[in-house]
Amino acid sequence: MKIQFLTVLAMLMATSVASARQFTLVKGSGYAIEPLYGYETVYRSSPSPHLATCAMYGVRLSAGVDLLSGEAEYSRASDTETFSGTPEKVYHEDENYKLGIRSTYRFNQYFFSSARLGAQATKGFEESTSSGVVTRKDKDLKYNPYAGAQVGVKLGVFSVNLSATMVFRDYSDLSKNDVQHTLSFGVGY
């Protein structure tokens, strides 16, 4: 009797969840929450112009239909560079906020690809150490457009995604643009 009751209860819960999902989401629509981890290559102007690579982490939320979805993302990156001259050490910390749109193409029920674009706001600071003296300089808030691509594998409500995104800082010199490569694990319908 107890096993029959639990079986009926489980079936009722499963059908009610499936019915609620069908009722609330248009076919091909949904949402995803993705914790992000990756690295980015960024342009640094001090002490001399160069590119630096640093680890980053964050979270991305997307919602909508496959053809057009909205997305919001927060990421944080920090790195320390050591030089033989002055300054001896420079520490950078950046916080990035992205707001944009994406379009997804599903090859089948497992594999998909997305294109994304939007705007990124970046704020942060830089600490340089010269002869034991630490100088902190806050960076101005900057807004830049971004574009990127993503490929992924979806297994039920879980997905594994690889993406590359370019943040456009200077159209005349593409080497000054930032490139972010991320690995994310999504959860959502």
Identify the residue whose tokens are 């808030």: 141
pLDDT for position 4: 54
Residue span of the structural domain in which 66 resides: 31-188
pLDDT for position 30: 84
Question: Rounded CA gap, 126 and 135, in Å?
Answer: 8
Give residues with Cβ within 8 angstroms of 129, minimum separation 6: 87, 88, 89, 90, 91, 135
Cβ–Cβ under 8 Å, residues 161 and 150: yes
84 part of a folded domain:
yes
pLDDT for position 28: 62
104 part of a folded domain:
yes
pLDDT for position 86: 74
pLDDT for position 17: 41
Domain containing 114 — which CATH number? Answer: 2.40.160.20
24 part of a folded domain:
no
Query: How many CB atoms are located within 10 Å of the residue 180 CB?
Result: 25
Q: Name the residue type at position 76.
A: R
- The number of distinct structural domains making up the chain is 1
pLDDT < 50 positions in the chain: 5-6, 8-9, 12-26
Query: How many CB atoms are located within 10 Å of the residue 186 CB?
Result: 20
Q: Name the residue type at position 62.
A: S
Q: Name the residue type at position 147.
A: A
pLDDT for position 164: 95
